[in-house]
C-alpha cells in the first residue's frame, strides 16, 4: 500500500478547498496561541478550565496575557478567542500550489526533497499589494526575481511569495505531514544584507546590487519594508497551513519533521554544506511553539509505504507488525477516521513495542517526528475532501 496521492485525487482535494483565487489572510504575533486555545474551548470553557488544560502554556503568551488582563474569568468559546485582534496585523494573501510527481521516472528524492513519491499540497503565503507597491517603487518592477528561486513552489500569478509550506496528505490514515516550511525571500534578503557594510556605502552612494538597483534603496527596503516580517514569517506560514489542514480538511493528526527525519528522509547527505540545509530552528523551535510533541512513531502512511528505502529509514521491521504500532493510549484522534480499525495484537505486544522503541532511542537509531493531536470537537474529515480518494 503506497498511500500515494495521484493527480486525480490531488485535483479533487484542490477543488474542495480552493475558493477560486487568493485568500485574504491576517497575522499578528501569537495569533496561533489564540487558535490553539480556541480549539480546546470549541464548546465553551472558562479561563480557569483552560489553565488546567494541556494548552495552558498558551495563556502565558504576551498577546494572550494582555487580552486576559481585560477578560476576567468569563465563559468563552472558540469564536470569541479567534475574533481577538490585539495588534495591527500583517496582511497577506494565501494561494495553493502543487509539488512533486507521481511518475516513478520523474520523481527524485534529492531534488524534490520529499519523504515519499507522490504529490504534495503547497500553501503559499504571499505579500499584500501594499508591500509589493513599496518594493517595486524602491527597487523596480523586475527586482523580485533576485529574491526567489524559479524552481521552487512559489506563486506564479503576479504574487510575490514570502514563504510556503509543503504538506503531505494521507486520507487513508487520517494523517498530514508538514514536509517543509521555507522562505527564499527572507533568506536571500538576509544574505544580501550581510554582504554590504553601510559605512562603505557612504563612500559609494551610487553603488548598485546585481547592477540593477541601488544598494542604499535595498537597505531602506530591508530596514523599513521587510523588517516587520523577519520574526513572523515562519509562524504566519505554519499557522496558515494548519488552519487549512485542521479547520477545513479536518485532519485529526498532523506530523512535522524533526531535524533528523528531515535530513534522512528528504535525501540530504552528511557532507552537504550547511548553506544547502534549512535552518535547524524550523525543525526544532517552530513545531514546539505550536504544541507539537516529539515521538518515535513515524506517520502510519510512511510505515505502510511500498518504498523499501522509506521503510528502512522509518524502522519498519525492527518492531512487530507496524499495523499494530499505531498509538493506543486513548487519545481522541486515534479513535476516529479510517485508522480506528486496527488489528488486535498478541498479549504483551505493546510492552515489547515500547521496549523496542526505548532501545532504538537509546541507540540513536530512532526516527523522531513531531506530532500534534487535535481534540475531537468537530467531524473527522470534510466530506468534499474525503471524496478525493473515494471517487477516483
Q: For residue range 287-331, list pLDDT tens digits in order.
A: 999 999 999 888 988 888 767 767 777 776 544 333 333 333 333
pLDDT for position 182: 94
Across residues 375-391, what is the average pLDDT?
Answer: 45
SS (H, E, C) the chain: CCCCCCHHHHHHHHHHHCCCCCEEEEECCCHHHHHHHHHHCCCCECHHHHHCCCCHHHHHCHHHHHHHCCCCCCCECHHHHHCCCCCCCEEEEEEEEEEEECCCCCCCHHHHCCCCCEEEEEEEEEECHHHHHHHHHHHCCCHHHHHCCCCCCCCCCCCCEEEEEEEEEECCCCEEEEEEEECHHHHHHHHHHHCCCHHHHHHCCCCEECCCEEHHHHHHHHHHHHHHHHCCHHHHHHHHHHHHHHHHCCCCEEEEECHHHHHHHCCCCCCCCHHHCCCHHHHCHHHHHCCCEEECCCCHHHHCCCCHHHHHHHCCCCCCCHHHCCCCCCCHHHHCHHHHCCCCCCCCHHHHHHHHHHHHHHHCCCCCEEEEECCCCCCCCCHHHHHHHHCC
> Is there a single domain that holds both residue 146 and residue 81?
no
Do 235 and 310 lie in one domain? The reply is: yes
Check residue 379 and give left, alpha or beta (phi > 0: left; psi -120 to 50: alpha).
beta
Residue 263, C-alpha cell as written in the block: 535530513
Q: How far, in Å, CA of 354 to CA of 131, rounded?
A: 51
Whole-number pLDDT of residue 136: 94
Share of the chain above pLDDT 70, in %: 68
Per-residue pLDDT, 276: 56
Whole-angstrom distance, CA of residue 195 vs CA of residue 91: 29
Burial of 229 (0-12, 13-18, 19+ CB in 10 A): buried
96 and 139 belong to one structural domain: yes
- 202 and 264 inside one domain: yes
Which of 47, 64, 87 is the last residue in one of the domains? 87
Q: Provide mean pLDDT across the span 360-386.
A: 59
134 in any annotated domain:
yes
Mean pLDDT of 137-166: 90
* Confidence at residue 184, expressed as pLDDT on a 0 to 100 scale: 94
Is residue 274 domain-resident? yes
Same domain, 71 and 208: no
Domain limits for position 65? 29-87
- Which residues, 6+ apart, have CB-to-CB distance to 338 below 8 Å? 171, 172, 173, 174
355 inside domain: yes
What is the rounded CA–CA span in Å between residue 59 and residue 66? Answer: 10
| Same structural domain, 230 and 252 | yes
Residue 290 lies in a domain: yes
Instruction: Round the average pLDDT of the chain to a whole number and report it.
Output: 77
Report pLDDT digits (tens) over 182-241: 999 999 999 888 877 666 666 676 777 777 888 888 989 999 999 999 999 999 999 999
Count how many domains the chain has: 2
Q: Do 251 and 145 share a structural domain? A: yes
Last residue of a domain, one of 60, 87, 114: 87
- Which pLDDT belongs to residue 349? 44
Per the CB < 8 A criterion, the answer to whether 58 and 84 are in contact is no
pLDDT at 345: 37
Give, in degrees to the nearest 5, the angle at Cα 165 between 89 and 268. 140
Question: What is the C-alpha to C-alpha distance for residues 331 and 333, in angstroms, rounded to an integer?
Answer: 5
Q: What confidence tens digit (pLDDT) does each residue in 242-297 have?
A: 999 998 888 889 999 998 888 788 766 554 545 556 788 999 999 999 999 999 88
Pairing of strands 118-127, 90-101: antiparallel
**Measured distance CA(283)–CA(260) in Å, rounded:** 9
Q: Are residues 200 and 333 in the same domain?
A: yes
Is residue 76 domain-resident?
yes
Banded pLDDT at 24 (limits 50, 70, 90): very high
CA separation for the pair 356, 315 (Å, rounded):
11
Q: Is 303 exposed, middle or buried (0-12, 13-18, 19+ CB in 10 A)?
A: buried
Residues 317 and 285 in one domain: yes
Looking at the predicted structure, is the pLDDT value of residue 341 above 50?
Answer: no
Same domain (yes/no): 21, 52 = no
Q: Report yes or no on 1 lying in a domain.
A: no
* 101 and 41, same domain (yes or no): no
CB distance 26 to 90 below 8 Å = yes
Q: Is the pTM of this model over 0.75?
A: yes
pLDDT at 90 over 50: yes
Indicate whether 2 belongs to any domain.
Answer: no
pLDDT given at position 104: 63
Displacement of CA 235 from its chain's centroid (Å): 9
- Could you tell me if residue 343 is inside a domain? no
Note the pLDDT of residue 366.
63
Q: Are residues 362 and 284 both part of a single domain?
A: yes
Closest residue by Cα to residue 28 from 93, 94, 95, 86: 86
Amino acid at each position: 500500500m503506497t498511500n500515494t496521492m495521484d493527480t486525480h485525487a490531488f485535483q479533487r482535494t484542490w477543488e474542495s478547498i480552493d475558493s477560486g483565487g487568493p485568500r485574504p489572510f491576517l497575522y499578528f504575533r501569537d495569533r496561533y496561541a489564540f487558535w490553539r486555545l480556541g480549539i480546546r474551548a470549541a464548546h465553551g470553557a472558562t479561563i480557569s478550565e483552560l489553565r488546567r488544560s494541556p494548552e495552558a502554556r498558551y495563556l502565558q503568551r504576551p498577546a494572550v496575557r494582555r487580552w486576559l488582563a481585560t477578560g476576567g474569568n468569563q465563559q468563552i468559546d472558540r469564536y470569541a478567542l479567534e475574533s481577538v485582534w490585539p495588534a495591527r496585523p500583517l496582511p497577506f494573501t494565501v494561494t495553493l500550489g502543487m509539488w512533486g510527481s507521481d511518475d516513478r521516472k520523474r520523481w527524485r528524492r534529492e531534488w524534490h526533497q520529499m519523504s515519499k513519491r507522490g504529490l504534495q499540497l503547497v500553501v503559499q503565503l504571499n505579500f499584500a499589494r501594499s508591500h509589493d507597491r513599496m518594493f517595486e517603487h524602491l527597487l523596480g518592477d523586475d527586482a523580485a526575481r533576485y529574491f526567489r528561486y524559479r524552481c521552487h513552489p512559489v506563486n506564479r500569478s503576479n504574487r510575490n511569495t514570502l514563504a510556503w509550506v509543503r504538506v503531505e496528505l494521507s486520507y487513508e490514515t487520517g494523517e498530514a505531514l508538514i514536509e517543509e516550511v521555507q522562505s527564499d525571500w527572507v533568506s536571500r534578503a538576509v544574505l544580501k544584507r550581510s554582504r554590504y557594510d553601510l559605512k562603505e556605502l557612504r563612500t559609494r552612494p551610487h553603488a548598485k546590487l546585481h547592477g540593477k538597483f541601488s544598494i542604499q534603496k535595498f537597505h531602506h527596503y530591508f530596514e523599513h519594508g521587510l523588517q516587520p516580517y523577519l520574526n513572523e514569517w515562519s509562524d504566519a506560514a505554519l499557522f496558515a497551513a494548519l488552519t487549512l489542514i485542521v479547520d477545513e480538511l479536518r485532519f485529526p493528526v498532523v506530523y512535522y519533521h524533526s531535524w533528523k527525519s528531515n535530513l534522512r528522509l528528504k535525501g540530504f547527505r552528511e557532507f552537504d554544506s550547511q548553506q544547502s540545509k534549512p535552518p535547524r530552528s524550523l525543525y526544532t523551535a517552530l513545531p514546539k511553539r505550536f504544541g507539537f510533541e516529539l515521538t518515535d512513531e513515524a506517520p502510519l502512511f510512511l510505515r505502510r509505504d511500498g518504498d523499501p528505502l522509506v521503510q528502512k529509514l522509518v524502522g519498519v521491521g525492527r518492531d512487530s507488525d507496524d499495523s499494530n504500532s499505531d498509538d493506543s493510549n486513548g487519545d481522541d484522534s486515534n479513535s476516529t477516521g479510517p485508522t480506528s480499525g486496527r488489528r488486535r495484537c498478541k498479549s504483551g505486544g505493546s510492552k515489547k513495542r515500547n521496549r523496542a522503541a526505548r532501545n532504538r532511542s537509546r541507540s540513536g537509531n530512532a526516527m523522531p517526528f513531531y506530532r500534534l493531536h487535535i481534540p475531537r470537537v468537530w467531524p473527522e474529515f470534510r466530506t468534499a475532501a474525503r471524496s478525493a480518494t473515494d471517487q477516483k
